[in-house]
Amino acid sequence: MNRFLFKKLLQNQGWDDNVLVSCNENGIITSIENNSIDSTATKINGFALPGFQNAHSHAFQYAMAGLAEVHDVTHTSDDFWSWRKAMYDLALSVSPEQMEAIAAMLYSEMVRHGYTNVAEFHYVHHDKNGNQYDNLAEMGSRMIAAAEKAGINITLTPIFYQKGGFGKDATKDQKRFISPSIDDYYKLLEASKNACQYFEGANIAIGIHSMRGVDPVDIAEVAKNGPQDIPFHIHISEQLKEIEDSLAYLGKRPVEWLLENVELSDRFHLVHATHLTEQETIGIAKSKANVVLCPTTEGNLGDGLFPLSNYQKNGGKWSIGTDSHIGINPLEELRLLDYGQRLISHKRNIFNSSTEGNSGDFAINMATISGRKAMNNFETQYFKVGEKMNALILDADAPLLATSSNEKLSSAIIYTADATNQLETIVNGKTISKQESNRQEIIRDFKRVIGELGNR
């Protein structure tokens, strides 16, 4: 049993002082006691907020983070589609063992920055020749092993990837991704579900790569008749070319088609959804589907800015992800999300004022509750008896945080804190130290693998 005495702990109604949280051997909270003076508990000089949920990750892309910024200036301007070529080159070369090492390094970094859960949008399924492994979930199993090693909970989201574009066959660069039919995808999904049984912190979700990556009729079929009790993730409307191609092929924009052909609900998570009409924006919000925003990646790729203000006015819910992992800090994602909206609106109060104008409280609440749904967790209370203890701990001696009132502390954290203020992360009741011994092994393995790949 672990017993933690925090200087402050954030609950839905605000910050509580001197909070004692007791957990059993499985990391389940057994009691929460405010204003405790228990001298036998592990005293943590920190402010505890709920662990962040990373609702969108492509783990292997961490190996190329920061590398796509070197451009051949003799060619046309660099964009998403040239970046994608570099990504394909990496995807075609990585082995299962290398995949595990890269993912473990990434997940360790996520935990260090305060993420306690990750939805792994995983589409490198086959061997380097495009053939199935004997274990259909070989690569997914590597993701799960990496998560267990790094100490993070994982929602493995094996991706249905079928096409090379609207009405186009897959290309040779996509050969490791492809499930030709719904039945092929269901076999992959079942194998992935079975792989999750070997790690208590793993569960499963459905994933569709995109409207361009799967025949739209098959998307509607999986949404209607596939498993209904797990989350459903899909990339959509990230790039302008995708919308142009969709109009040419379907006569509809991607989100427009989805709203008309799929009965959306709050188990659906639409990743990026950058380019929307007003009707589409309102339609997503009214459907209760969630949007997953990845501001550092969307900014890095030049995707554009999501219409957040109008979406929130209509009750829209969103979470955050790190996607290509050009950035890994959740505070950075939230700041960039807010500041991008301020820059295009010339206003400061962009985040919803439902929490009496407290942008920090609102950002934490939205990222936590909607992010949990992406992991198939519909719990709305931050810390609750009977639930797992997952928390990010901020240093109570950090000057700007130490001097903030309870009313202003959340905003001080969101808008001023950085990695140096992040004291510890607790995952499933266990403290994951920045200096934990297996992290050094993870770093050594990652460096060796990058040397083997020779891409950096």
What gap in Å lies between CA 363 and CA 352, rounded to an integer? Answer: 9
User: Exactly one of 245, 303, 323, 445 is catalytic; which is it?
Assistant: 323
Q: What is the pLDDT of residue 80?
A: 56
In a shared domain, residues 128 and 216: yes
What is the sign of the dihedral through the CA atoms of 126, 166, 318 and 68? positive
In a shared domain, residues 283 and 327: yes
Instruction: Please report whether residue 452 resides in a domain.
Output: no
Instruction: Please report whether residue 447 resides in a domain.
Output: no
Instruction: Please report whether residue 455 resides in a domain.
Output: no
- Structural domain including 403 reads 2-50+387-439
In a shared domain, residues 433 and 401: yes
Chain mean position to CA 29: 24
Instruction: Please report whether residue 449 resides in a domain.
Output: no
Phi/psi at 31 (nearest 5 deg)? -160, 150
Q: Token pair of 87, please? A: 């990504």
Number of domains in the chain: 2
What gap in Å lies between CA 98 and CA 276, rounded to an integer? Answer: 38
Is residue 40 exposed (0-12), middle (13-18) or buried (19+ Cβ within 10 Å)?
A: exposed
Let me know: does 59 contact 21? Beta carbons within 8 Å.
Answer: no
In a shared domain, residues 149 and 99: yes
User: Exactly one of 56, 126, 272, 325 is catalytic; which is it?
Assistant: 272
Spell out a b/e string for 130-153, using b for 16 or more CB atoms within 10 Å of the CB, else e: eeeeeebbbbbbbbbbbbbbbbbb
In a shared domain, residues 99 and 56: yes
Query: Which of 340, 345, 241, 343 has the alpha carbon at shortest distance from 293?
Result: 340
Q: What is the pLDDT of residue 356?
A: 61
Residue 86 CB coordination number (10 Å) = 16
Q: What is the pLDDT of residue 441?
A: 94
Phi/psi at 41 (nearest 5 deg)? -80, 160
In a shared domain, residues 358 and 212: yes
Instruction: Please report whether residue 61 resides in a domain.
Output: yes
Instruction: Please report whether residue 42 resides in a domain.
Output: yes
In a shared domain, residues 301 and 178: yes
Strands (E), 241-314: 268-272, 290-293
Where do runs of H (alpha helix) occur along 203-253? 216-225, 240-250
pTM score: 0.96
Q: Is-catalytic flag, 395?
A: no
Spell out a b/e string for 381-417, using b for 16 or more CB atoms within 10 Å of the CB, else e: ebbeeeebbbbbbbbbebeebeebeeeebbbbbbbbb
Q: What is the pLDDT of residue 382?
A: 98
What gap in Å lies between CA 129 and CA 406, rounded to an integer? Answer: 57
What gap in Å lies between CA 147 and CA 153, rounded to an integer? Answer: 7
Q: Is-catalytic flag, 445?
A: no
Q: Which CATH number is 215's domain given?
A: 3.20.20.140
Instruction: Please report whether residue 347 resides in a domain.
Output: yes
Q: From first to last of its 456 residues, what are the pLDDT tens digits of the chain?
A: 899 999 999 999 999 999 999 999 999 999 999 999 999 999 999 999 999 999 999 999 999 898 777 766 666 555 555 667 778 888 899 999 999 999 999 999 999 999 999 999 999 999 999 999 999 999 999 999 999 999 999 999 999 999 999 999 999 999 999 999 999 999 999 999 999 999 999 999 999 999 999 999 999 999 999 999 999 999 999 999 999 999 999 999 999 999 999 999 999 999 999 999 999 999 999 999 999 999 999 999 889 999 999 999 999 999 999 999 999 999 999 999 999 999 998 988 777 655 468 999 999 999 999 999 999 999 999 999 999 999 999 999 999 999 999 999 999 999 999 999 999 999 999 998 755 668 999 999 999 999 999 887
In a shared domain, residues 344 and 236: yes
In a shared domain, residues 150 and 67: yes
Non-local CB neighbours of 62 within 8 Å, separated by 6+ positions: 102, 103, 105, 106, 109, 324, 325
| Residue 293, amino acid | L
Q: What is the pLDDT of residue 194?
A: 98
* Residue whose entry in the numeric block shows the structure tokens 């569709």: 208
Q: What is the pLDDT of residue 78?
A: 58
Q: Token pair of 130, please? A: 């495009």
In a shared domain, residues 278 and 397: no
Instruction: Please report whether residue 80 resides in a domain.
Output: yes
In a shared domain, residues 145 and 44: no
Residue 87 CB coordination number (10 Å) = 17
Q: Which CATH number is 426's domain given?
A: 2.30.40.10
In a shared domain, residues 46 and 102: no
